[in-house]
């Protein structure tokens, strides 16, 4: 009953947010845009337009976690909702343009966006305060084996109000007392626990009504894409190599061609300016060509705007960038990297069919070989075509460990769908505004262990 009450209250609060976001748009539509239509709607048509805005706003809020009150900072909530509002209003402006006689004025919709932003910020401040005043942090235990420090991550990400860690226990100590700690907590985090012991704890937690958060292994991720079926009058899970249907591959390629072609046309002035800036700075080549791996280990040359000195790897050793501390990056290169403009030439790789918009990021053969010495499963990410953006880029950071990036890539490969592709494309827009996603790796890192 307590869990049901929690869910109902949260739904009511989210509906309030949707209503506050929709109100300024609805007023703007009725007062400004509806009268300008070639053939004005009756009330049902007007409500349909407002409902379309609601659907767009809810969709973008889901993509950007705009309603995740309990697990997001206030600044993250506000940023997510502002981005959702901006995209929803922009798409609705396009719809309005199609419905009216002339190019509709943008100023009224911008005024509505401003009002929406103010209401969204006020809602985020109130909702965050309401939630943690109403719901106490859950008593939490962290059980670890070969990985420690999860309690530090809870603190670093500002989740102490959601999870109050009262016990941090080594796996052997937890099992030695027959998991008696489960009687004292509401949530358990399993960190680096192998599958056999993890399953024992998981079953006990479910039996006692304790929530479980766990970091999956590579085997878990592979099994997440297994197809459920019945055979021999038994429940069966069938797991196989990445092999999506021809319809998915056809539509995905069509989207790649259309989107990359349009993007090249739109960003051509920016690309020309970047090319001239690179050339005039040190007289070196504009493009940086580097061998990368794509589907089934095929090697191709990725194109990027050169952001480092010409002699950045004169010793022949492949090194990942260390970010701001990397003295090999040129002044122009720092600007290009900050705004991800150095990646734009990869649109040409997409047109050629060497890459896709969405997929595991292509790795250098030398670095992939080093990773595989410690992670033999690293080659599993080569089941799908390399992408300009991917699951690991959206939900990880540049300096996320190769092991964790591998699991993210395999999560994408295990469940291919156009819906997932579109979510990753839209989520990529959000990370463009997050500077931490461009952080470098540790100085000199070339292996999976670092």
Domain segments of the chain as ranges: 2-134, 138-215, 246-438
| pLDDT tens-digit series, residues 213-224 | 988 888 888 888
Give every residue of the chain whose pLDDT is below 50, as ranges: 437-450
Instruction: Give the Cα-Cα-Cα angle 423, 291, 246 (nearest 5 degrees).
Output: 45
Residue whose C-alpha is closest to residue 291's, from 365, 211, 359, 230? 365
Q: How far apart are CA 352 and CA 213, in angstroms?
A: 42
Cα separations in angstroms, 232 against 28, 229, 238? 61, 10, 14
pLDDT value, residue 446? 43
Q: What are phi and psi of 429, to 5 degrees?
A: -60, -40
Residue whose C-alpha is closest to residue 20's, from 148, 120, 110, 109? 120
32 within 8 A of 99, measured Cβ to Cβ: no
For residue 234, list its beta bridge partners: 231
pLDDT value, residue 447? 39
Residue 27: which residues within 8 A CB-CB, separation 6 or more?
112
Q: How far apart are CA 435 and CA 415, in angstroms?
A: 29
pLDDT value, residue 383? 93
Q: Is pTM, for the whole model, over 0.85?
A: no
Q: How far apart are CA 323 and CA 439, in angstroms?
A: 5
Fold of 138-215: Rossmann fold (3.40.50)
């Amino acid at each position: 009953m307590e869990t049901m009450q929690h869910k109902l209250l949260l739904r009511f609060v989210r509906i309030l947010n949707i209503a506050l976001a929709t109100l300024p748009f609805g007023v703007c539509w009725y007062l400004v845009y509806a009268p300008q239509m070639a053939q004005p709607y009756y009330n049902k048509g007007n409500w349909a337009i407002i409902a379309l805005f609601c659907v767009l706003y809810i969709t973008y809020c889901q993509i950007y976690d705009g309603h995740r009150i309990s697990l997001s900072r206030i600044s993250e909530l506000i940023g997510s909702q502002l981005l959702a509002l901006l995209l929803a209003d922009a798409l609705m402006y396009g719809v309005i343009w199609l419905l009216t006689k002339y190019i509709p004025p943008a100023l009224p919709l911008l005024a509505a966006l401003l009002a929406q932003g103010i209401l969204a910020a006020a809602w985020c401040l109130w909702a965050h305060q309401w939630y943690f005043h109403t719901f106490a942090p859950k008593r939490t235990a962290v059980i670890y084996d070969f990985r420690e420090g999860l309690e530090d991550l809870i603190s670093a990400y500002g989740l102490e109000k959601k999870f109050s860690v009262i016990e941090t226990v080594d796996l052997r100590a937890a099992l030695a007392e027959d998991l008696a700690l489960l009687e004292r907590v509401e949530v358990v985090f399993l960190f680096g626990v192998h599958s056999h012991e993890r399953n024992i704890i998981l079953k006990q937690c479910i039996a006692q009504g304790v929530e479980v958060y766990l970091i999956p292994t590579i085997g878990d991720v592979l099994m997440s894409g297994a197809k459920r079926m019945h055979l021999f009058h038994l429940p069966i899970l069938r797991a196989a190599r990445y092999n999506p249907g021809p319809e998915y591959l056809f539509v995905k390629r069509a989207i790649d061609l259309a989107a990359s072609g349009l993007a090249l046309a739109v960003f051509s002035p920016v690309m020309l300016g970047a090319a001239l800036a690179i050339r005039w700075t040190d007289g070196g080549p504009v493009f940086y060509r580097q061998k990368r791996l794509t589907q089934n280990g095929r090697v191709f040359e990725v194109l990027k705007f050169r952001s480092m000195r010409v002699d950045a790897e004169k010793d022949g050793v492949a090194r990942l960038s260390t970010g701001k501390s990397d003295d090999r990056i040129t002044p122009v290169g720092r600007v290009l990297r900050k705004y991800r403009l150095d990646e734009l030439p990869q649109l040409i790789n997409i047109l050629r069919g060497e890459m896709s918009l969405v997929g595991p990021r292509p790795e250098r053969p030398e670095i992939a070989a080093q990773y595989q010495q410690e992670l033999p499963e690293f080659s599993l990410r080569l089941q799908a075509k390399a992408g300009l953006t991917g699951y690991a880029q959206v939900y990880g950071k540049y300096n996320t460990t190769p092991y964790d990036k591998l699991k993210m890539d395999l999560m994408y490969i295990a469940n291919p769908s156009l819906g997932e592709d579109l979510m990753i494309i839209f989520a990529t827009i959000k990370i463009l505004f997050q500077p931490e996603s461009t952080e470098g790796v540790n100085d000199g890192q070339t292996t999976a262990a670092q």
